[in-house]
């Protein structure tokens, strides 16, 4: 039977086999439960992170047997931690806690916006007045959070469900429009306007018959004509609201206009479609095609961006589409990916300076079994670039791979304690 000994970092050398840490493996940056210290970088990392480890004598380099036997014969070394030289915090651990804190805070505002728009949609269906003052305050709160850090809010847009599509879609378009606007350099006032337009853009759908709105198959020409009326109906519901600017009303009325003048309701050419309306048009399509609907399953974020890029030639300003792609990243937030070691995760944040190395949340181990405790890795950190633990994204997976329920994962991680 193999034996293990407990030693402090001072006695560690290359060739030793670490079989146990002073903490759970999932709370460390080491992806393998048991490893040989075979590089100076790995040795330094173990020394920096751990106060003590357990070394397996049999699995260690045979040339170290004598040294390990001597260590085993000594009294167990005492682990001393002083305030003068605190143990460095694993940067991935710090990122994990910071991200989860931000996610939970964002969830509160996100849920308030969802509850608001659900009520507003009911009011629109009944023909009663819409509380636009509350909408403006909620959008202002969402803008504050996007300006602070947009990544958590963008991930929350994947809370959407097939049964609550319209309400989810309105909040998602609001969040994505503000985030996109921030990438474009819009000022605070413009961000509030584009967010408010996004939040209210589909109110007119409540005047569309449910049989058409929720039809699982392709609409007939007559049904599509009725469906297209929702933008004008939404405009009529809101046009007398003194709290709403012309920019917001234009978004509601014209978010289905296209640059080749074949959109609706007015078949406007590109130069007559305001910038803020074009921003909402792009994110409206993006959220719609990445959502599960009564008549189709949603695309992956990656495939959705590719599709929008192809459609840009006839539908959208190509420079705006390219800016949107840069904003979301090569691996957009919400993408399900597999790493080169077989682990599966979901992209939860992207960095402009490290577009190929986003932050991910691991959800499945290399055997495709769910982790009991999910772990966040920032692939941009140097310790994931080289050595035995070097990681990179090997493939993008379809949204439903391995029966992963991203919506449930987000609900779990964002639950306010």
Boundary residue ending a domain (328, 359, 382): 328
Domain that holds residue 405: 336-414
Residue 75 has pLDDT above 70, yes or no: no
> What is the predicted pLDDT for the residue at 94?
73
Higher pLDDT, 26 or 315: 315
Are 76 and 199 within one domain? no
Mean of pLDDT over the chain? 88
What value does the mean pLDDT take over residues 224-228? 95
**pLDDT above 50 (res 281):** yes
> What is the model's pLDDT at position 86?
40
Residue 83 pLDDT level (bands cut at 50, 70, 90): very low
**Number of helices and strands (H, E) in the chain?**
15, 9
Contact 263, 226 (CB under 8 A): no
Mind giving me the DSSP string for 82-139?
A: -TTSPPPPPHHHHHHHHHHHHHHHHHHHHHHHHHHHHHHHHHHHHTPPP-HHHHHHHH
Q: What is the mean pLDDT of residues 86-111?
A: 78
| Token pair belonging to 237 | 């519901």
Q: Are residues 346 and 307 in the same domain?
A: no
Quick one: CA dihedral 42, 45, 47, 52, positive or negative?
negative
What is the length of the chain? Answer: 417
pLDDT digits 0-9 by tens, 208-224: 998 998 888 889 999 99
Domain end, chosen from 55, 88, 121, is at 88
Same domain, 322 and 347: no
Tokens of 47: 């020394």
Residue 174, domain CATH:
1.10.3210.10
Cα dihedral sign, 50-52-55-60? positive
3-state secondary structure of 412: helix
Are residues 238 and 324 both part of a single domain? Answer: yes
244 and 306 in a common domain: yes
Instruction: Give the integer Cα–Cα distance in Å for 308 and 300.
Output: 12
Q: Does residue 364 carry a pLDDT above 50?
A: yes
pLDDT at 79: 40
Residues 149 and 292 placed together within one structural domain of the fold: yes
The dihedral sign for the CA sequence 262, 268, 270, 273: negative
| 170 and 33 in a common domain | no
Write down which residue in 283, 303, 328 finishes a domain.
Answer: 328
Q: What dihedral angle (degrees, nearest 10) is formed by the CA atoms of 299, 302, 304, 306?
A: -140
Query: Among the listed ranges 1-10, 277-286, 387-396, which one has the minimum average pLDDT value?
Result: 1-10
What is the C-alpha to C-alpha distance for residues 327 and 310, in angstroms, rounded to an integer? 17
User: Cα 219 from chain centroid?
Assistant: 32
Domain identity same for 158 and 280: yes
Over 60: is that where the pLDDT of 85 sits? no
Tell whether the model's pLDDT for residue 41 goes beyond 90.
no
Task: Provide the pLDDT confidence category of residue 84 given band limits of 50, 70 and 90.
Answer: very low
The predicted pLDDT at position 388 comes to: 65
Whose tokens are 């950190």? That residue is 381
Task: Supply 206's token pair.
Answer: 């409540």
Same domain, 209 and 356: no
Task: Report how many domains make up the chain.
Answer: 3
Q: Which two tokens stand for residue 298?
A: 């949603």
Are residues 145 and 104 part of one domain?
Answer: yes
User: Are residues 167 and 134 part of one domain?
Assistant: yes
Contacts by 34-39 with C-beta closer than 8 Å and gap 24+? 34/59, 35/388, 36/60, 36/61, 37/12, 37/13, 38/14, 38/388, 39/14, 39/387, 39/388
Residues 116-152 pLDDT 10s: 999 999 999 998 889 999 999 999 999 999 998 889 9
Kindly state whether residues 143 and 229 are assigned to the same domain.
yes
159 pLDDT more than 70: yes
* Residue 81 pLDDT level (bands cut at 50, 70, 90): very low
């Amino acid at each position: 039977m193999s034996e293990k000994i407990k030693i402090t970092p001072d006695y560690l050398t290359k060739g030793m086999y670490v079989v146990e840490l002073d903490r759970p493996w999932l709370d460390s940056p080491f992806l393998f439960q048991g490893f040989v210290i075979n590089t100076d970088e790995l040795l330094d990392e173990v020394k920096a992170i751990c106060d003590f480890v357990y070394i397996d004598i049999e699995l260690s380099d045979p040339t170290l047997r004598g040294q390990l036997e001597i260590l085993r014969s000594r009294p167990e070394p005492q682990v001393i931690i002083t305030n003068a030289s605190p143990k460095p915090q694993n940067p991935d651990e710090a990122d994990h806690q910071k991200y989860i804190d931000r996610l939970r805070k964002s969830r509160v505002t996100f849920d308030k916006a969802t509850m608001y728009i659900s009520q507003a949609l009911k009011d629109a269906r009944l023909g009663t007045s819409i509380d636009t003052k509350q909408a403006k305050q909620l959008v202002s709160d969402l803008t504050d959070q996007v300006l602070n850090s947009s990544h958590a809010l963008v991930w929350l847009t994947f809370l959407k469900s097939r049964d609550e599509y319209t309400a989810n879609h309105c909040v998602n378009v609001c969040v994505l429009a503000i985030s996109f606007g921030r990438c474009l350099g819009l000022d605070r006032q413009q961000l509030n306007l584009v967010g408010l337009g996004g939040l209210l853009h589909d109110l007119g759908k409540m005047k569309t018959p449910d049989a058409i709105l929720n039809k699982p198959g392709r609409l007939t020409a007559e049904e599509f004509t009725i469906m297209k009326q929702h933008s004008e109906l939404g405009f009529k519901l809101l046009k007398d609201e003194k709290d709403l600017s012309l920019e917001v009303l234009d978004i509601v009325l014209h978010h289905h206009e296209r640059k080749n003048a074949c959109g609706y309701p007015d078949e406007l050419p590109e130069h007559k479609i305001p910038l803020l309306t074009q921003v909402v048009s792009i994110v409206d399509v993006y959220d719609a095609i990445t959502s599960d609907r009564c008549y189709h399953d949603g695309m992956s974020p990656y495939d959705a961006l590719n599709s929008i890029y192809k459609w840009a030639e006839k539908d959208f300003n190509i420079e705006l589409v390219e800016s949107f792609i840069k904003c979301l990243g090569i691996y957009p937030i919400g993408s399900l990916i597999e790493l080169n070691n077989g682990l599966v995760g979901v992209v939860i944040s992207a960095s402009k300076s490290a577009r190929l190395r986003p932050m991910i949340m691991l959800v499945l181990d290399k055997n495709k079994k769910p982790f009991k405790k999910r772990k966040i890795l920032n692939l941009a950190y140097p310790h994931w670039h080289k050595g035995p633990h070097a990681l990179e994204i090997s493939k993008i997976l379809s949204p439903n791979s391995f029966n992963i329920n991203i919506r449930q994962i987000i609900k779990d991680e964002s639950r306010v304690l």
